[in-house]
Structure 1
């Protein structure tokens, strides 16, 4: 049974400030590094056979915490990057609402075509899902950890499970350094666990 552990990166200063990161390359802060170090032993206990990561620093450095324990190499894949948020990147929600009111209304209303150069969610799901499928095919029957981003994780596993957008909208975002597990069964890919991590759920941060 192939198991994919889709792991969100640790906290960054932009997470703490409520800024949309998207594909801006923001590194982990001290809290994020601590979160990765705390989560890594739990994931190491699953005895992963391979470790992949988005090439953005916050995901790569999260993966490095697990690599230090398992001695696995980290394979980077740019398809695992977060959704590109176009003109929203670097802004807080109030700033987006003020500068791009029409696009903000479409975004918060669940419109698939936000505008403002924001990548469509179905495009995110397709590229991340493609990467996850290829990773799974390389490691049949193994546990594989994939360090990525909140929005990318949700859209990617949703694509793997063939879930419609209405179902994905009902799934709560991953907390920093929490993960989703999907498994391959005779009936196809199935969700085994979501928002698993080393500490109880508190606030849900922005998934970007």
Structure 2
């Protein structure tokens, strides 16, 4: 049975400041680097056969912590990048609410934001396609670990499973360096085996942006 681990990157200063990252290439902070090491020590026990990552540094450096323990090389896929948040990127969510009140209200309601923000459908489709290609790298019955981003992970997995947006909204945001475990059953297809698994953290959950 193929196992796919969809892993959110470690903490960044923009996460800590509730600042919208989107596709801005922000690095891990000290906490994020430690989270990556702690998570890698758990994930290595799953004996991954391949590691795939978003090419943005916060995900790539998270994946590198696991690569260091496994000796595996990392494949990079731009389709695993975070949702593109357009003009929101770089602002705190408080500033977004002030500067783009209508868009922010739609975002809070789980609706399409509009403007230059990537649609949920586009996000889900591109990430889901990347996840399927990553899963194909697994040896028979093997495990693939995919390092990506919060909104990308949730929407990509939801699209892969065929879940409507309303159902996805019942899932809380992934914590930094936590993951979703999917398994592929010959008869039932992809199934969720675990959600929001990872190293213990006392920090509050930052938004998946």
TM-score range, shorter chain: over 0.9
2:188 alignment partner in structure 1: 187
Check whether the contact 2:110–2:165 (CA below 8 A) recurs between aligned residues.
no
Report the equivalent of 1:95: 95
CA contact (8 A) 1:22 1:83 kept: yes
How many Å separate the matches in 1 of 2:77 and 2:22? 16
SS of residue in 2 equivalent to 1:45? helix
Give the equivalent residue in structure 1 for 2:130.
Answer: 131
Name the CA distance, whole Å, in 2 between partners of 1:197 and 1:159.
23
Ranges of 4+ aligned residues in structure 1 off by more than 6 Å: none
Give the whole-Å Cα distance in 1 for the aligned partners of 2:203 and 2:98: 29
Stretches of structure 2 that go unaligned for 5 or more consecutive residues are: none
Q: Which runs of 5+ in 1 are unaligned?
A: none
Deviation for aligned residue 1:200? 5.4
RMSD of equivalent CA atoms? 1.1
What is aligned with 1:16?
16
Tell me, in whole angstroms, the C-alpha distance in 1 between the residues paired with 2:203 and 2:11.
Answer: 14
SS at the partner of 1:94?
A: helix
* Structure 2: distance between partners of 1:7 and 1:28: 15
More displaced 10-residue stretch of structure 1: 135-144 or 90-99: 135-144
Partner deviation per Cα, 1:117-175 (whole Å, 9 max, x = no partner): 11011111100000111121232421000000000000111111111110011111100
Aligned partners of 1:160, 1:65: CA distance in 2, in Å?
Answer: 27
Q: 1:200–1:35: structure 2 CA closer, same or farther, 3 Å change rule?
A: closer
- The number of equivalent residue pairs is 207
**Match of residue 70 from structure 2:** 70
- Measure, in 1, the Cα distance between the counterparts of 2:27 and 2:54: 13
1:22-61 to 2 correspondences below 5 Å: 22-61=22-61
Mapped contact 2:8–2:148 kept (Cα < 8 A): yes
TM-score (norm 1): 0.96
The alignment's TM-score, normalised by the length of structure 2, stands at 0.96
- CA–CA distance in 2 between the matches of 1:14 and 1:200? 17
Conserved 8 A contact 1:88-1:116: no
1:82-161 matched pairs, under 5 angstroms:
82-112=82-112, 114-139=113-138, 140-161=140-161
